[in-house]
């Protein structure tokens, strides 16, 4: 009998994952990961991890499976929280959820599971796993979940073959309503529980407040760049080759305070991210203001009116070799090769047509249509059909 450790988070998805595995004849053990214990930054008095671990325990009890809490807060702080501060200080926008899967659930947690003699770890992600023999090698595939609204393959875009070989995704074939129905039929306490928001396992944390502990507020100006700024009417040079063209279009606009007018103040450019609309607190505009660029060195936020503003759109992005990752190593591009794919630059964005170009110094992703708010530090992931082949950090 194969042994599976399920990461029980106290939510409905992982509860049903545990139930299904048990039905399939696995020996199931539930583990709750405690990744955070600094209650000074949670929003409300409720202590979410306590409530969640309690729900997880009740579910395990109902299913008749062993349960324990593991404290991973040390590793979480080292690998996720410090990474976030680092990225924000560089003026990039991190994605803790993607990192949490690569570094915590399918690394630290996986090692604990293996010490407990487990053959697999399972999570409540809406995605699927495929296996194929290719030229005598076993190749694992990460496939999109059945439920288009909930497909979470993007969050797992940094997993390796080794990690995938040990992973199970029991609810990947189901839609959210089906998962809730199973939970209700089995009388699981989490059946009606709302989906958790907030950082992977930190609970209800306000991001700016969380960051402010480390990143000191410092007042700066908000500069509004007009829609018809000269910057956007740049002349397109003649390119000697495709790479020069890609590099030109992947380069973002450079603004200075002289390019616009000061319309307000902010408490720190590192608290803001491209495409953000909330929190600018500048009134008197015909259309809402969006952040089009943050300059953490000069501490300036550049904003534009309306979500069609040219400053928000680009159609080429770049990933350095160090931050390039192929789940399907057998399909990795060599220098000079290209691949037609569908790609997304954020969770729940619909897949967009794109072409990958591998060059000496990294990989360009050229989208057929311009993309709004391409944000450094976020992950771009690419697919063929419903399989996620690889990903990288937008540089």
Note whether 94 and 84 are within 8 A (CB). yes
Token pair of 319 as six digits: 């990933």
Tokens of 247: 């590099």
100 is catalytic: yes
Is the torsion defined by CA of 78, 84, 86, 89 positive or negative?
Answer: negative
41 vs 373, more confident: 373
* Mean pLDDT in residue range 340-350: 95
Among the listed residues 56, 20, 327, the one whose alpha carbon sits nearest the alpha carbon of residue 169: 20
pLDDT over 70 (residue 342): yes
The answer to whether 18 and 28 have CB atoms below 8 angstroms apart is yes
> What pLDDT does 45 receive?
55
**Which pLDDT score, from 0 to 100, does residue 181 have?**
98
- Give the pLDDT confidence of 157-172 residue by residue, as tens digits: 999 999 999 999 999 9
Q: Are 107 and 72 in contact (CB under 8 A)?
A: no
Query: At 306, phi and psi to the nearest 5?
Result: 85, 150
* Inter-CA distances, 93 with 65, 98, 199, 203, Å: 39, 12, 14, 19
What mean pLDDT comes out for the span 363-390? 97
Residue 305: HSE in the Cβ half-sphere, 13 Å Cα cutoff? 15
**For residue 85, what pLDDT band results from cuts at 50, 70 and 90?**
confident
Q: Which long-range contacts (CB under 8 A, 24 or more apart) does 171-174 make?
A: 171/13, 171/16, 171/17, 171/20, 171/124, 171/125, 171/126, 171/145, 172/125, 172/126, 172/127, 172/128, 172/129, 172/143, 172/145, 172/146, 173/128, 173/145, 173/146, 174/16, 174/126, 174/146, 174/147
Q: Read off the pLDDT of each residue in 112-121 and give the average, rounded to a whole number.
A: 96
Tokens of 89: 């200080």
Distance CA(395)–CA(326), nearest Å, equals 17
Round the average pLDDT of the chain to a whole number and report it: 92
Give the model's pLDDT for residue 38. 62
DSSP 182-210: HHHHTT-TTTTPPPP-SBTTTBSB-HHHH
As a whole number of angstroms, the longest Cα–Cα distance in the chain is 69
pLDDT category at 90 given cuts 50, 70, 90 is confident
Least confident residue range of 68-82, 136-150, 188-202:
188-202
Residue 204 has pLDDT above 60, yes or no: no
At residue 148, the pLDDT reads 86
Regarding predicted confidence, which is higher, 148 or 140? 140
Torsion angle in degrees (nearest 10) through CA of 231, 345, 394, 268? 70
Nearest Cα neighbor of 85 from 180, 202, 215 is 215
In order of their start, the domains of the chain are 3-212 (3.40.50.620), 216-395 (2.40.30.10)
Q: Taking the CA atoms of the chain, what radius of gyration do you get in angstroms?
A: 23
Q: Answer yes or no: is pLDDT of 223 > 80.
A: yes
Catalytic-residue membership of 200: yes
- In the set 47, 127, 157, 200, the catalytic residue is 200
Range in 58-67, 199-208, 303-312 with the lowest mean pLDDT: 199-208
Q: DSSP states of 325-390 as a string? A: EESSGGGPPPTT-EEEEEEESSTTPPPEEEEEEEETTEEEEEEEEEEE---TTSEEEEEETTEEEE
201: confidence class by pLDDT, cuts 50, 70, 90: very low
Calculate mean pLDDT across residues 115-130: 97
Residues 6+ apart with CB under 8 A from 228: none
Whole-number Cα distances in Å, 127 to 130, 174, 184: 10, 9, 22
Q: How far apart are CA 364 and CA 354, in angstroms?
A: 10
Beta carbons within 10 angstroms of residue 52's beta carbon: 21
Which range of 201-210, 225-234, 316-325 scores highest in mean pLDDT? It is 316-325
Q: What is the pTM of this model?
A: 0.93
Query: What is the reported pLDDT for 328?
Result: 98
Closest by alpha carbon to 55, among 96, 100, 15, 105?
15
- Helix 12-23 crosses helix 48-63 at what angle (to 10 degrees)? 20
> pLDDT higher for 268 or 380?
380
Q: What secondary structure letter does DSSP report for 251?
A: S
Helix or strand or coil: residue 82?
Answer: helix
CA distance 126 to 147: 7
Question: For residue 113, is pLDDT > 80?
Answer: yes
Tens digit of each residue's pLDDT (9 = 90 or more) over 279-331: 898 988 999 999 999 999 999 999 999 999 999 999 999 999 999 999 999 99
Q: Tell me, what's the pLDDT at 191?
A: 94
263-266-268 Cα angle (round to 5): 140
């Amino acid at each position: 009998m194969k042994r599976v450790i399920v990461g029980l988070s106290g939510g409905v998805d992982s509860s049903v994952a545990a139930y299904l595995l048990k039905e399939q004849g696995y020996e199931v053990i539930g583990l709750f990961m405690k990744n955070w214990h600094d209650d000074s930054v949670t929003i409300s008095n409720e202590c979410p991890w306590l409530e969640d671990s309690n729900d997880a325990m009740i579910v395990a009890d109902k299913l008749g499976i062993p349960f324990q809490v593991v404290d991973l807060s040390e590793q979480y702080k080292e690998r996720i929280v410090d990474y976030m501060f680092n990225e924000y200080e560089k003026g990039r926008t991190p994605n803790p959820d993607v990192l949490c899967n690569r570094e915590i659930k399918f690394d630290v947690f996986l090692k604990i599971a293996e010490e407990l003699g487990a053959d697999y770890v399972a999570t409540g992600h809406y995605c699927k796993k495929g296996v194929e023999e290719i030229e005598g090698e076993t190749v694992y595939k990460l496939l999109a979940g059945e439920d288009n609204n909930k497909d979470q393959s993007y969050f797992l875009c940094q997993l390796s073959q080794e990690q995938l070989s040990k992973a199970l995704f029991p609810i990947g074939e189901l839609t959210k309503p089906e998962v809730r129905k199973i939970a209700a039929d089995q009388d699981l306490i989490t059946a009606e529980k709302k989906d958790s928001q907030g950082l992977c396992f930190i609970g209800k944390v306000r991001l700016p407040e969380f960051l402010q502990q480390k990143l000191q507020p410092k007042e700066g100006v908000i500069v509004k760049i007009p829609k018809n700024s000269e910057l956007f009417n740049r002349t397109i040079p003649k390119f000697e080759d495709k790479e020069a063209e890609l590099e030109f279009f992947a380069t973002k606009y450079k603004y200075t305070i002289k390019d616009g007018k000061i319309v307000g103040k902010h408490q720190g450019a590192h608290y803001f991210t491209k495409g953000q609309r909330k929190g600018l607190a500048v009134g008197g505009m015909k259309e809402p203001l969006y952040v089009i660029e943050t300059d953490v060195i000069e501490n300036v936020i550049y904003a534009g009116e309306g979500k069609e503003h040219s400053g928000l759109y680009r159609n080429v992005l770049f990933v350095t070799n160090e931050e390039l990752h192929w789940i399907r190593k057998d399909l990795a591009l060599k220098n000079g090769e290209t691949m037609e794919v569908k790609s997304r630059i954020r969770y729940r964005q619909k897949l967009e047509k794109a072409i990958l170009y591998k060059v000496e110094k990294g990989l360009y992703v050229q989208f057929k249509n311009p993309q709004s708010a391409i944000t450094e530090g976020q992950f771009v992931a690419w697919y063929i059909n419903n399989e996620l082949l690889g990903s990288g950090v937008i540089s």
